[in-house]
């Protein structure tokens, strides 16, 4: 089970996930520098750590690496939710409390997801890919 990403790890992974292509440290650095002062070596260390933790794979490209996400942000979020839920001493109560915190848009997304998982082809939001 993956642990929650730190703030800088999340900022880096957000870019890797959004761009959905192999990225270099330099590309991530330049984008991060639009919102904060950060050194190349800091970004390089974070990306190396993410590689060591299994979040990204990397391939040599000249004198640099190109990094690609191993999984999606959706899978990461789902794993965090599953871990939190599994630690509850009363999972049903935890779900009720969680649902109570949801916006109406989030509840609609949840209902669409349940329909997809149950195989309801007429559900709003479509059917799973490959069906």
Give this prediction's pTM: 0.74
CA–CA separation, 49 vs 9, rounded Å?
A: 9
DSSP, res 58: E
Please state the length of the chain. 131
CA–CA separation, 25 vs 45, rounded Å?
A: 9
- C-beta separation of 19 from 12 below 8 A: no
Q: Tokens 């002062």, residue?
A: 37
List per-residue pLDDT tens for the chain, 131 residues long. Answer: 467 899 999 999 999 999 999 999 999 999 999 999 999 999 999 999 999 999 999 999 999 999 999 999 999 998 888 888 888 899 899 889 988 999 999 999 999 999 999 986 554 544 444 43
The tokens describing 58, both together, are 């990397």
Q: Comparing C-alpha atoms, which of 83, 86, 67 is closest to residue 75?
A: 83
């Amino acid at each position: 089970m993956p642990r929650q990403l730190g703030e800088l790890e999340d900022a880096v992974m957000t870019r890797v996930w959004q761009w959905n292509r192999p990225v270099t440290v330099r590309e991530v650095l330049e984008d991060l520098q639009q919102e904060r002062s950060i050194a190349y070596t800091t970004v390089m260390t974070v990306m190396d750590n993410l590689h060591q933790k299994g979040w990204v794979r990397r391939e040599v490209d000249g004198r640099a690496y190109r990094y690609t996400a191993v999984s999606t942000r959706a899978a990461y979020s789902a794993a965090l939710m599953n871990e939190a839920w599994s630690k509850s001493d009363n999972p049903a109560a935890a779900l009720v409390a969680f649902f109570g915190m949801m916006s109406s848009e989030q509840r609609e997304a949840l209902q669409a997801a349940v329909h997809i998982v149950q195989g309801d082809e007429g559900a709003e939001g479509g059917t799973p890919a490959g069906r």
